[in-house]
Amino acid sequence: MSLSITFLPGLRELLGMSYRRRQTALNKLVRGIRSETAERIVVILLIIAVIAFLSGAVYSFSTSRPISMIFLPGGGMRIFVWDLNMQTHAETIVVFIYYALGAGGLFLYARAVSRPSDPRTTKYMLFFSFLLI
């Protein structure tokens, strides 16, 4: 039984390289990550991952019996479960959206405070940031 590495296209070549060539390739990769746009993308992805973790996505992915909504006998529906031992997918999505709106409000507040050059723009940014938070 042979082990083949097919999930990453360049991994076989990277493992077959000499130490010096591997270090050069890794240094090029690190230099590319150190750019400002790459840092911004990494920060945004990290914020999205933290928000997804806090909203309960780990529970939704790891549970054995996921439920999307609860349908009541009288014909009604519930998104939020009244029990703390379970969580619906719809609840995860709603909580994720609430956290994302709060993070957007904090971002607007930080931009309004750090760039107070135009008072009218600052006033609108502060107003909408408090609405989102």
Looking at the structure of the chain, the number of domains it has is: 1
Has residue 3 been placed in a domain?
no
Has residue 44 been placed in a domain?
yes
> What was the pLDDT predicted at 11?
55
Tell me: pLDDT of 5 over 50.
no
Burial readout 93-105 (b: 16 or more C-beta within 10 A, e: otherwise) = bebbeebbeebeb
Tell me: pLDDT of 74 over 80.
yes
Has residue 4 been placed in a domain?
no
Encoding tokens for residue 37?
A: 């746009």
Tell me: pLDDT of 2 over 60.
no
> What is the span of the domain harbouring residue 43?
12-132
How much is the average pLDDT of 41-69?
84
> What was the pLDDT predicted at 87?
82
Has residue 7 been placed in a domain?
no
> What was the pLDDT predicted at 93?
87
> What was the pLDDT predicted at 1?
45
Torsion of CA 96, 101, 105, 106, to 10 degrees: 10
Write the pLDDT tens digit of every residue in 77-118: 888 887 777 788 888 888 899 999 988 888 888 888 887 777
pTM higher than 0.75 for the full model? no
Question: What is the residue type of 107?
Answer: F
Beta bridge partners of 78: 70
Question: Which percentage of the chain shows pLDDT scores above 70?
Answer: 84
Beta bridge partners of 70: 78
* End-to-end alpha carbon distance in the chain: 56
> What was the pLDDT predicted at 38?
75
